[in-house]
Amino acid sequence: MVNKEDKAVERECSFRVSGKNPEIWDPQYGTVTLPADYKISEGITTVRLKFKPKESLFFIFQKEKEAGLEVRKDPAEKYVLKDFTGTLEFEDLPEKKAIPVTSFSSWTLLEDPDIRFYAGKATYELNFSVPSELFGKKTAYISLDSVMVAYNITLNGKLLGSSVFPGYRFEVTGMLKGKDNKLVIHVANTWRNRIIGDFTQFGKLKNCWTTSPVLNLPGKDKSLQKSGILGPVSLYF
């Protein structure tokens, strides 16, 4: 089952299966869990659960219930990073000064055309603190709740991993500090905006080369694709 939307959705999934135990196999995290809410009636198994943005899940039906499997559940507490400072730098625009960052928005909303039409990689470096009452939790995760295309995250010098999915939760148990946490996020976007920018600024392709027929490319009349971190960055406990 696939959630094709960029937001979380809650759905009832019905399967023509009865007399078996449903399991949820999560390919992103490599976990197998049990649904918290399901029923079997008239030969139909109905599972109700919440899908994260762009999330895909497998539903497997077993004759025997496997011992030791936990029920699928979301973290109980969420903390959105608000009071943070940082910078944003664009890898292919070395002459540009780092942009101060205190909130998140799409690169396409900036006035500078070099950034609005930018295609490539960029780096966010953020510093933040965590309230003392959040320490001592059993587990902790960090997530970019809304982000476009591919990215990787490093927290306090440790690479957490990479993802292409908004809302992916990287475990950070034992890694957070009360103050001066440093979060580095490398994020990329596609060439769509640069192609649109070329046709808008120059009337032709200038910054890239392709074998694709020009008529098949997005022109200046097409909308830009949102890019970068759209926010927020959240901690889950």
Same domain, 86 and 122: yes
Q: Evaluate if residue 185 carries a pLDDT over 90.
A: yes
- What's the confidence (pLDDT) of residue 132? 86
Q: Evaluate if residue 109 carries a pLDDT over 80.
A: yes
Same domain, 126 and 224: yes
- What's the confidence (pLDDT) of residue 183? 98
Same domain, 99 and 152: yes
Q: How confident is the model at residue 194 (pLDDT cuts 50, 70, 90)?
A: very high
Q: Evaluate if residue 74 carries a pLDDT over 90.
A: no
Distances (CA, A) of 140 to 3, 32, 53: 25, 20, 20
- What's the confidence (pLDDT) of residue 78? 93
Structure tokens of 206? 């200038």
Same domain, 134 and 231: yes
Same domain, 38 and 98: no
This prediction's pTM? 0.87
- What's the confidence (pLDDT) of residue 215? 80
- Which residue, chain included where needed, has tokens 């510093």? 127
Same domain, 111 and 145: yes
Q: Evaluate if residue 216 carries a pLDDT over 90.
A: no
Share of the chain above pLDDT 70, in %: 100
User: What is the extent of the structural domain holding 163?
Assistant: 78-236
b/e string for 100-137 if b means 16 or more Cβ within 10 A? ebeebebbbebeeeebbbbbeebebbbebebeeeeeee
- What's the confidence (pLDDT) of residue 210? 85
72 touches 55 (CB < 8 A): no
- Which residue, chain included where needed, has tokens 């198994």? 45
- What's the confidence (pLDDT) of residue 221? 93
Mean pLDDT of the chain: 94
- What's the confidence (pLDDT) of residue 211? 87
Distance CA 59, CA 56 (A): 10
Same domain, 27 and 58: yes
CATH number for position 83: 2.60.120.260
* Residue 29 placed within a domain: yes
30 DSSP assignment: T
Q: How confident is the model at residue 204 (pLDDT cuts 50, 70, 90)?
A: very high
- What's the confidence (pLDDT) of residue 3? 95
Q: Evaluate if residue 223 carries a pLDDT over 80.
A: yes
How many domains does the chain fold into?
2
Same domain, 89 and 57: no
Same domain, 190 and 103: yes
- What's the confidence (pLDDT) of residue 148? 86
Q: What is the pLDDT of residues 28-63, one digit of tens each?
A: 999 999 999 999 999 999 999 999 888 999 999 999
Q: Evaluate if residue 114 carries a pLDDT over 80.
A: yes
